[in-house]
Amino acid sequence: MSLLASISKPADLDSLSQAQLDQLADEIRAFLVESVSRTGGHLGPNLGVVELTMAVHLVFESPRDSIVFDTGHIGYVHKLLTGRQDFDHLRSRGGLSGYPSRAESEHDIVENSHASTSLAWAEGIAKGRRLAGETGTSTVAVIGDGALTGGMAWEALNDIAAHKDLPLVIVVNDNERSYAPTTGGLAEHLAVLRATRSYEQVLSWGRRTISSAPVVGQRAFEALHGMKKGLKDIIAPQVLFEDLGLKYLGPFDGHDISALTTALRRARDFGGPVIVHAITEKGRGYEHARNHVDDQFHAVGVINPETGLPLEIAGRSWTENFSETLCEIGREREDVVAVTAAMLIPVGLRDFAQAYPDRVFDVGIAEQHATTMAAGLSFAGRHPVVAIYSTFLNRAFDQVLMDCALHRQGVTFVLDRAGVTGSDGASHNGMWDFALTSIVPGIRVAAPRDGEQTSIALREAVDVSDGPTLLRFPKGSEPRPVPAVARRGTLDVLARHPAPEGQAQQVQDARVEIEDVPSLALDEPVDVLLVGVGAMAQVAVDAASVIADSGASVQVVDPRWVLPISEDLLTAARSARYVGVIEDHVAANGIGSALAAALAETGEPLAVHRFGLPKEFLDHAGRNEILADAGLTAPVVAEKVVAVLHPALL
């Protein structure tokens, strides 16, 4: 039996020799490469924290001691050491989560996996335990150098430093990267700290020399030791941490289990806040990851473990479309700049950065700062495009409201991974952005239904200079284009049953120049109006065909710009007996809710049937599985509409 198979709990590590621990590290890396290449997941980060995670579990007793990972995508090794070694369905329904999960194990604490939160969590846990009179326990936060760039982390450090006797160990997993190389002043500071490795090596040489040449060696070592303060101040300015009142240890080789366990025991026994600085290598042990310059296999789909090449052949992605269009705009307009929060590559800004390096600003994991800085760029005559994941917009709501909207600054937010992302679970589903932005005065929100509309919406967004704009699109490959068959004011008509004479009901295989199609009156009566929001447009079109078979007249529209609710959409809604809004968002606070509220404000309340996601945190599963669970499929939508219109047919 392999060593890894013999590990069912962290205490099983205690009986292993150093040679066995090294063997176990090799087995874990081989397991990760073999397993994650079949399922997809965060491979590179976990390959880099094997020894570090082992050392943490050798020194601290989980769950009696609390261990918080920041971010949780580095938790795979932790799962293996806490009895979870079935990775066959990792990040799939019924399988292990790709992040810590309280439902899986008592060893898991923080699930949200939004970066820079671990220090606040850990401080709260440590303070709470002290208030409860608990003694002899420790709290550990493992935080990456990328996550350490976030404002929350520094707010927590400032507060932690005021509590000199708080038993809290902060392990900095320094691999010089988040998705890509870490940027900013902190990154430069940590780079200087890494130079202490050479200093410590000189000291170690001096100590060894004493035993081999006592007289000369002792004199040399005394001279070197006398230079210690001046030398260390020059090449190891850990005073950034120590001047805050935080004990600093390191830097240490993050792949030396013996050195790490010694340092962690010292930190544990210190009795106050201690920072242990470990230098690790992202992708360690897997040559394809180490050689992947962009992100060292931060996250992968299904790959061939022998070559590192993807096995899944995906079509053109929404992100690629955005990237290409932004580069085109960049060539046309020198005022357009891009801003990101440590996600240059995932959000599609790499090509723009290569073409216009002086016009891209990566601020680290600091969405709040990115948003307000963008307001400043706008004030200075630029038009910033802030590209982030939808789930991370939550963190910058105040800045969108008070810095961008209040000051009417022309800032465009592009939200990648909007709606259901699926495999990354509750913390990464981008299902809250409509709810947040619907209360922001003056903001204009677009939900393009396909790649062609994404390009059009982006160009329209950067033309707005008197307030913030936002466009959102989902994760994955673009769908087949969903062409309009007519234009009703600002609305695209995607299907009409029955259609006016001489007009196609719907066109799926050919693009239609909507200007050449006779326009329809805004107030033309119809039995059913379906509003397909963004990526749900095709679901609306398909549902309309089924509904029409029941004898109802149906019209499907795409508002394109979904917030604020347009007068054209209000007029179309008033002309229908039944109005349904289909959206990849929380139904209770989405576009359907906004439409219902807008109708009520006009004094003509009309029932709006909302097809969307439940207001709850969704477990990890495939995107299509989650959409099906929420009833966001054409057959289910059609059945519910027909049940209201013609209950006798069911």
Strand order in the sheet with 526-532: 486-488, 491-497, 554-558, 526-532, 576-586, 608-613
Q: Are 611 and 556 in contact (CB under 8 A)?
A: no
Report whether the peptide linkage leading into residue 564 is cis, meaning its omega lies within 30 degrees of zero: yes
Amino acid (one-letter) located at 528: V
Q: How far is CA 44 from the centre of its chain?
A: 16
DSSP state of 611: E
Dihedral over alpha carbons 265, 266, 267, 272 (to 10 degrees): 130
Reduced to 3 states (helix: H, G, I; strand: E, B; else coil), residue 590 is coil
Cα–Cα distances in angstroms (integers) from residue 85 to residues 20, 30, 31, 516, in the given order = 19, 13, 9, 60
Q: Is residue 444 annotated as a catalytic residue, yes or no?
A: no
Report whether the peptide linkage leading into residue 346 is cis, meaning its omega lies within 30 degrees of zero: no
DSSP state of 618: P
Residue 426 annotated in ligand binding: no
Residue 252: Cβ within 10 Å count:
24
Catalytic choice (51, 111, 176, 367): 367
Q: Is residue 395 annotated as a catalytic residue, yes or no?
A: yes
- Give dist(CA 132, CA 208) in Å, integer: 48
Residue 55 annotated in ligand binding: no
**The tokens of 514 are what?**
């909507």
Q: Is residue 487 annotated as a catalytic residue, yes or no?
A: no
Reduced to 3 states (helix: H, G, I; strand: E, B; else coil), residue 127 is helix
Give the orientation angle of helix 451-462 with respect to helix 318-332, to 10 degrees: 40
Beta bridge partners of 609: 580
Residue 113 annotated in ligand binding: yes
Catalytic choice (359, 395, 449, 610): 395
Specify the DSSP element, H or E, that contains 553.
none
Beta strand spans in 84-145 (E): 139-144
Residue 114 annotated in ligand binding: yes
Question: Which residues make Cβ contacts (< 8 Å) with residue 215, sequence separation at least 6?
Answer: none
Residue 299 annotated in ligand binding: no
- Give dist(CA 583, CA 384) in Å, integer: 28
Owner of token pair 């205690």? 14
Owner of token pair 């196609």? 504
Residue 146 annotated in ligand binding: yes
Residue 255 annotated in ligand binding: no
Query: Longest C-alpha distance within the chain, in Å?
Result: 106
Residue 604 annotated in ligand binding: no
Nearest to 371 by CA among 343, 405, 348, 344: 405
Residue 73 annotated in ligand binding: yes
Residue 594 annotated in ligand binding: no
Known binding residues for thiamine diphosphate are 73, 113-115, 146-147, 175, 286, 367
Please list the active-site residues: 282, 367, 395
Known binding residues for Mg(2+) are 145, 175
Known binding residues are 73, 113-115, 145-147, 175, 286, 367
